[in-house]
């Protein structure tokens, strides 16, 4: 007698619930990773601009210390200083020589670098005792940053992240820490006035005194 063999086909796969769980976890990991990568990219962009400006300020200082005149020597006359200037109304900066007497062809001297443009989406704000610029002298190697120093704040437009390049009166050039703009979180609502606390109730009138019952004489009752 021949026996029949039963073949069981085993099927393996993922259920819909398992697929949804995997997709959800992947979406969470992607959102976290993307947010960190975005912040990292923004920090790198700010740092790159700060280092570029720091390098050009140091270049301005070195040009002044070397006493190298731009262009033809007889055009400059006496080289007094080199200046680093943030151009008013634009997010650009320039490096130029200050000569005595100044010659025609440049309003404030001979430009070494003129209108250097920073990457789009960023703005510059310079502060110091000499308005938007800082000068490095050829004689003595000092500068006109003043006691408060000179600083250039670089801001990412629409985001608010900032980094600052500092120039001290002693000639040191430093880059500050990046200030990341934190999203504003609404706080709890503040009541405009303190709630009134009910005090003890004040009686409007004195409590009524019960009227005593009349006392009848003992021989009053007729029975």
Q: At residue 81, does pLDDT exceed 60?
A: yes
- Answer with the residue of higher pLDDT: 20 or 103: 20
Partners of residue 156 on adjacent β-strands:
122
Tell me, yes or no, whether 12 lies in a domain: no
> So what's the pLDDT on residue 3?
60
Tell me, yes or no, whether 181 lies in a domain: no
Average pLDDT over residues 151-165: 93
Q: Which residues contact 176 (CB under 8 A, 6 or more apart)?
A: 163, 164, 165, 166
Specify the 3-state DSSP secondary structure of 84.
strand
Q: If pLDDT is split at 50, 70 and 90, which confidence band does 60 have?
A: very high
Strands 150-156 and 162-167: antiparallel
- The string of DSSP letters for 139-187 reads STT-BS--TT-EEEEEEETTT--EEEEEE-TTS-EEE---BPPPPP---
Distance of CA 53 to the CA centre of its chain: 19
Half-sphere exposure of 114 (CA within 13 A, CB side): 8
- Please give the backbone phi and psi of residue 5, each rounded to the nearest 5 degrees, phi first: -95, 130
Tell me, yes or no, whether 220 lies in a domain: no
Tell me, yes or no, whether 68 lies in a domain: yes
CATH number, domain with residue 50 = 3.55.40.10
Specify the 3-state DSSP secondary structure of 134.
strand
What is the extent of the structural domain holding 145? 26-175
Tell me, yes or no, whether 4 lies in a domain: no
- Number of compact structural domains in the chain: 1
**In whole numbers, what is the pLDDT of the chain averaged over residues?**
78
Helix segments in 67-93, DSSP class H: 73-76
- Answer with the residue of higher pLDDT: 70 or 115: 115
Starting at the earlier edge strand, list the strands of the sheet with 173-175: 122-127, 150-156, 162-167, 173-175
Q: If pLDDT is split at 50, 70 and 90, which confidence band does 76 have?
A: confident
Distance in angstroms (rounded) separating the CA atoms of residues 64 and 82: 5
| CA-to-CA dists, residue 67 to 63, 88, 170, angstroms | 6, 27, 19
Half-sphere exposure of 173 (CA within 13 A, CB side): 19
Q: Rounded to two decimals, what is the model's pTM?
A: 0.66
> So what's the pLDDT on residue 147?
82
Tell me, yes or no, whether 191 lies in a domain: no
Tell me, yes or no, whether 207 lies in a domain: no
User: By the 8 A CB rule, do 46 and 156 touch?
Assistant: yes
Tell me, yes or no, whether 43 lies in a domain: yes
> So what's the pLDDT on residue 105?
45
């Amino acid at each position: 007698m021949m026996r029949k063999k039963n073949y069981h086909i085993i099927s393996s796969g993922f259920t819909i619930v398992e697929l949804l769980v995997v997709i959800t976890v992947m979406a969470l990991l992607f959102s976290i990773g993307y947010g960190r990568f975005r912040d990292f990219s923004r920090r790198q962009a700010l740092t790159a601009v700060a280092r570029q400006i720091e390098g050009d300020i140091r270049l301005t200082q070195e040009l002044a210390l070397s006493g190298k005149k731009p262009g033809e020597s007889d055009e400059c006359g006496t080289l007094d200083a080199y200046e680093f200037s943030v151009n008013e109304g634009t997010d650009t900066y320039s490096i130029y020589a200050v000569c005595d007497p100044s010659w025609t062809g440049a309003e404030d001297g001979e430009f070494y670098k003129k209108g250097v443009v920073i990457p789009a989406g960023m703005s510059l704000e310079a502060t110091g005792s000499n308005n938007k610029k800082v000068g490095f002298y050829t004689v003595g190697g000092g500068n006109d940053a003043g006691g408060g120093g000179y600083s250039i704040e670089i801001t990412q437009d629409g985001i608010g992240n900032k980094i600052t390049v500092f120039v001290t009166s002693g000639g040191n050039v430093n880059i500050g820490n990046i200030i990341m703009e934190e999203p504003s979180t609404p706080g709890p609502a503040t009541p405009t006035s303190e709630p009134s606390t009910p005090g003890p109730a004040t009686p409007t009138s004195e409590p009524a005194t019960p009227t005593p019952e009349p006392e009848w004489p003992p021989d009053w009752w007729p029975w």
